Structure 1
Amino acid sequence: MAPETGATWPGHWPRPSRLLASPEPIETMALLPDHPPVSFTWRGIRRRVRQADGPERMRGEWWRRDCELTAVRDYFRVEDDAGERYWIFRSGDGEDPNTGSQR
C-alpha cells in the first residue's frame, strides 16, 4: 500500500520474454563457483555455450520458510553455438552446500 514511486525494473537486468511453466533439469559443465557453464545438455541435446552473462544471485524468499534463509540461485544468460538463448540457474552459490544442491 506504499505510494507509487515510479520505480521500474532495472534495465540492465533484462528478463526473458518467455518462460517454461516450470524449470527443467539440465546437466552442465562449469568452473565453480562463479563461472557460467561452458556447455549444457537439455532435453537430450548437448549445447556448447558461445556467450554468457552472470551470475546474477537471487536469495530465497526468507519470509516463507526458514530453509529459504540460506537458499541461493545463481542465474546465467547463455547463448549457444546456434544462437539460441537461455536463462538458466544453479541452485546454490557453487561453494556452500547449505545454500542449495549446486545443480
Structure 2
Amino acid sequence: LALLTPRGGAEPGSGPDGFQINKTAASVGVTAADTGDRWRLVLVGPAGEFRLTRAHLLAMDQYEAALPIACVEGWSTSDQRWRGVRLRDLAVRAGYPDGAAD
C-alpha cells in the first residue's frame, strides 16, 4: 500500500517501548535545562494570552491514553502510551467552551 514511501534508507532509531525515532532531543542540542524556565507554551484565545512553563503543564491534570500511530513513511505502532495535559483542557483555559471542538 505504501508505494511512495522511502525505501532502502537507514532504519530510524529505537526509542521508548520500541517507538521509532529519527532524532532525539539530545541529538539536536536540546538539554533538560531547555525545558525549564526558558521554554513556554503560548495559548491564545478568547480569554487572552497565556504563557505556560513545563512546571505549569505538569501541575495540571495529567491523562494517559494508548494511541496508535501510522506514519507516512510506511511504519506503524499500535501500543504507545501517551501521558500529559489534554488539548481540550488547554482550549478551555484559553477561553473556548468545553466541547466546542466535538
Structure with higher Rg: it is 2
- TM-score range relative to shorter protein: under 0.3
Looking at secondary structure, tell me which structure has more helix per residue. 2
**TM-score normalised by length of structure 1:** 0.25
**Higher RCO (C-alpha under 8 Å, 6+ residues apart):** 2
